[in-house]
Structure 1
Amino acid sequence: MNNTLAQINIFPDGGFKGFGKLGLETAPAMDASVVFTNFISSAIGLVTLIAIIWFVFLVTTGSFAFMTAGGDKQSLETARKKIISGLIGLMVCIFGIFIIRFIGYLIGIPDILNFVSLFSVLTGNNVIN
């Protein structure tokens, strides 16, 4: 039997579903806050990982440029700026957590980085995970 292109089934049997921690195929509707907090936590972890990889890349390339500058003042300055910008970026990433906690303390939400309790406070629900 010859199938024409229009007759080929391109969809999976069960339909398209999410996968991993954020997959919604088994989560009841009332667990939306948990799915949201898992998404936010995963996004923060991914951004932190990218920042660390970028820091290592900048310090490595800056160090290599510093060693191979051969006394050229322009190359030394460029390498120094790379290393310093990598260090500043890493410090911003690390101190960002403390700054967010401090701001949460100032505005009256001391547990601002716990997204489940923050979501519960904002919506008025008493959902504790």
Structure 2
Amino acid sequence: MLAQQEIPLGNPLRGIGPLGNPADTGIAEFNKFVSTAIGLMTIIAIIWFVFKFIGGAIGIISSGGDKAALESARKNITTGIVGLVVVIAALFILDLIGNLIGIPNILNLVDLFQQIQQ
């Protein structure tokens, strides 16, 4: 008759999140998504820069005096550098705009939405 006896479980898990913790709010989940997307795009931009830079360096080495190949390789390196600078500058400009309009942590969407709701 053990199946009919009540067995105390102690402190049962609550919520639907990991390990029974309460789930995050929708804003927190959206913040995680945007933060992950920005980080992923930044990593992709850095990897793209590395490939453009290495490709340009190999192009310069293997140009063999051909001016067209040398110019193409230089353009590859320049394109990579400009792309990386644009990505990094965009993050700094967004932070600067946030500070100028009074939202110092504009990339943290949870704080941004809380300030908007007030």
Relative to the length of structure 2, the TM-score reads 0.77
Out of 80, 104, 110, the residue aligned to residue 116 of structure 1 is: 110
Report whether the alignment pairs 1:73 with 2:76.
no
Report the counterpart of residue 87 of structure 1 in structure 2: 81
The whole-number CA distance in structure 2 between the counterparts of 1:93 and 1:108 is: 23
Number of aligned residues: 99
Displacement over 6 Å in runs of 4+: none
Report whether the alignment pairs 1:62 with 2:45.
no
* Gap runs ≥5 in structure 1: 1-24, 125-129
Report whether the alignment pairs 1:42 with 2:39.
no
Report whether the alignment pairs 1:52 with 2:24.
no
Compute the displacement of 1:114 (Å).
1.9
Report the counterpart of residue 19 of structure 1 in structure 2: none
Q: Percent identity among equivalent residues?
A: 47
Which amino acid in 2 is paired with 1:74?
A: A
User: Structure 1 stretch 53-62 or stretch 114-123: which is displaced more?
Assistant: 114-123
Task: Report which structure shows greater RCO (CA 8 Å, sep ≥6).
Answer: 2
Q: Which has the larger radius of gyration?
A: 2
The whole-number CA distance in structure 2 between the counterparts of 1:123 and 1:50 is: 34
The whole-number CA distance in structure 1 between the counterparts of 2:112 and 2:58 is: 45
Compute the displacement of 1:122 (Å).
2.2
Which amino acid in 2 is paired with 1:59?
A: F
Relative to the length of structure 1, the TM-score reads 0.71
Which amino acid in 2 is paired with 1:110?
A: P
Report the counterpart of residue 7 of structure 2 in structure 1: none
* Gap runs ≥5 in structure 2: 1-15
